[in-house]
Amino acid sequence: MSQEIQRASTGIPRLDAALEGGVPRGSWVAVTGEPGTGKSILCMHFAWAGLKAGDPVIYITTEAEFRDVMRQARQFRMYFDDYEVHYLGGRPPVRKPQLVVIDIFSLLKTARQLSASVEEIERSRKYAALEIDVLIAAINEAYRVLDLINETRRSPKRHVRLIIDSLSAFWADKPVMARKYSYQLKIATHRENVTALLVSQYAMTTRATYGFGLEHIADGVIHLWMDDVESVKEIRRYLIIKKMRMTNHYARALKVSIIPGEGMKLDLL
């Protein structure tokens, strides 16, 4: 008898149904799309569903302070500050956190700790926080803060949710490195008990990803887009599951609505 696949809820009922119950645990899922399509809100749902299920969450945001993420999430009745939140790089947590936040300031502090000298960090201050090695070090430190791994235990003893919004920031100035960095990140931080949502931005002008490679290392791809607003004179958002391993997923597009007090809602077309 084949072992039943354990799945992590996305927090969006229609999307879970389209995924046979959710994302297979241990998967790395790329969330792709241009700005304004709902990628960050999807990340909020995934994190909120994890906290409610008792999963530790590592939330990395490179394009906004996490306080702004929490402020927006409250509009959708997701109250992250009801949980024990720890900002990586700050004071050591008094109690074991349920949510570890890594924002641009946490990455800069991690870069300082990794730097060989003050002169080096000052010289490369503009880009130091967005180096892939810094991201890897921050994620591994988050695993330790959550008391999930140590020198003898490499895989977390509990299921963990990892959100990175977005990864495109790490290769925005060198898109040809996207594939190399994606492999480097997965090799260094992937664990069998970690399910990850990784955002990849699309350029509004070309509707192509910044760089290439993330989709190739991902176990699943969820793509969001919108109709050309100048042509249709309104915002029409859509979502499609382009691939998901071990899943006979729904193969048609779903209409996306962003509703105050509820968040992302999907409907059949």
Three-state DSSP class for residue 83: coil
Distance, in Å, from the CA atom of 248 to the CA atom of 152, rounded to the nearest integer, reads 37
What local confidence, expressed as pLDDT, does residue 210 receive?
A: 46
Can you give the pTM of this predicted structure? 0.90
Mean pLDDT of 101-111: 83
pLDDT, tens only, 157-174: 789 999 999 998 887 777
- In the chain, where the domains are located: 26-223
Least confident of 65-69, 114-118, 179-183: 114-118
Please state, rounded to an integer, the average pLDDT across all residues of the chain.
Answer: 87
What local confidence, expressed as pLDDT, does residue 170 receive?
A: 83
CATH number belonging to the domain at 26-223, selected among 3.40.50.300, 3.50.50.60, 3.40.50.150, 3.40.1080.10: 3.40.50.300
* pLDDT of residue 5 exceeding 80: yes
Per the document, the length of the chain is 269
Intra-chain end-to-end CA distance of the chain, in Å: 37
Three-state DSSP class for residue 252: coil
pLDDT, tens only, 11-58: 999 999 999 999 999 999 999 999 999 999 999 999 999 999 999 999
* pLDDT of residue 116 exceeding 70: no
| Amino acid found at 238 | Y
